[in-house]
Amino acid sequence: MMRDYCSFKALAARRRKRRKVLLRSLYLFAAIMYTALTISGCGNDNGQIGDFRYRSDMADQPSFHKHEDPLPPVKGTVPVAGKELAISDSLAATRVANPVERTPANADSSKFLYETYCTPCHGLSAKGDGLVAAKFQRPPDLTTQKYRTTPDGYFYYVIRNGRLIMPSYYESIKSRERWLIVNHLRTLQDK
C-alpha cells in the first residue's frame, strides 16, 4: 500500500510523536531500574527514597541497642548519694570509716546484696566454698581472725577495685551497697 506523504508537516508531526513516546518509555525504564536497584539492596538501602519511606524495620528505631552505653547524665546533674569517695590505694582505704551503721533494719539488704554478688565464689557463710570457687579458685575464708581485724574500708576497697583474679564491682555495686555488704561480712564473722 502506498503511504500518504502528501505533506512534510504531517511527516514532521508523526516523527515528533514517535520521539516523544520513545523518550517517555526511556524515562519509565530508568525509574523502574532505579527503584528496583534501591530496593534490592544495591547501593545504600536505608529504606528510604528522598522523603518516601518504603520499608520500616524494627532495627531502625531510636531505642537502645544491645551493649550500647547508657546516655550520659544531663549536664549539671549531681548524684543524689553524693560524690564517690576518692580513695587512692588500699592503705588509704583502711582509714576510711564505714558511714553505714549495721542495724536490724538494713540487715536484710546487706544479706541480699552479699548473697547476690559474693556467694558464687565466697559461699553463703564467706568460708570460700561457693559453687564457682570449686571450678575457679578458692578464695580465702573471710571469717578467720585475719579478716576480723581487717578494717571496713579495706573490704570496701576490694569490692570496688577487685583483687588479683577477683573482679571489680565498681560498676554494679554502688558506694552505699558496698558498705552494706561489709556489714554483712561482719555479721557472718560474728556467727
Interface positions with ligand HEC (CB under 6 A): 117-118, 120-122, 132, 136-137, 139-140, 142, 155, 158-159, 163-167, 169, 181
Grid cell digits, residue 85: 569517695
Amino acid present at 190: D
Interatomic CA distance for residues 162 and 123, integer angstroms = 17
As measured in angstroms, the least distance from the Cβ of 163 to ligand HEC is 5
Nearer to ligand HEC, 96 or 166 (CB): 166
Interatomic CA distance for residues 67 and 8, integer angstroms = 75
As measured in angstroms, the least distance from the Cβ of 164 to ligand HEC is 4
Nearer to ligand HEC, 55 or 163 (CB): 163
As measured in angstroms, the least distance from the Cβ of 140 to ligand HEC is 5
Nearer to ligand HEC, 100 or 118 (CB): 118
Nearer to ligand HEC, 48 or 170 (CB): 170
As measured in angstroms, the least distance from the Cβ of 155 to ligand HEC is 5
As measured in angstroms, the least distance from the Cβ of 169 to ligand HEC is 5
Taking alpha carbons only, the member of 155, 152, 145, 159 closest to residue 189 is: 145
Calculate the alpha carbon distances from 16 to 8, 180, 188 in Å: 12, 90, 99
Nearer to ligand HEC, 55 or 148 (CB): 148
User: Which burial class, exposed, middle or buried, applies to 152 when counting CB atoms under 10 A from its CB (0-12, 13-18, 19+)?
Assistant: buried
The strand pairing partners of 166, in sequence order, are: 163
List phi, psi (to 5°) of 11.
Answer: -65, -45
Nearer to ligand HEC, 77 or 145 (CB): 145
CB atoms near residue 109 (< 10 Å): 16
Interatomic CA distance for residues 158 and 60, integer angstroms = 42
As measured in angstroms, the least distance from the Cβ of 183 to ligand HEC is 11
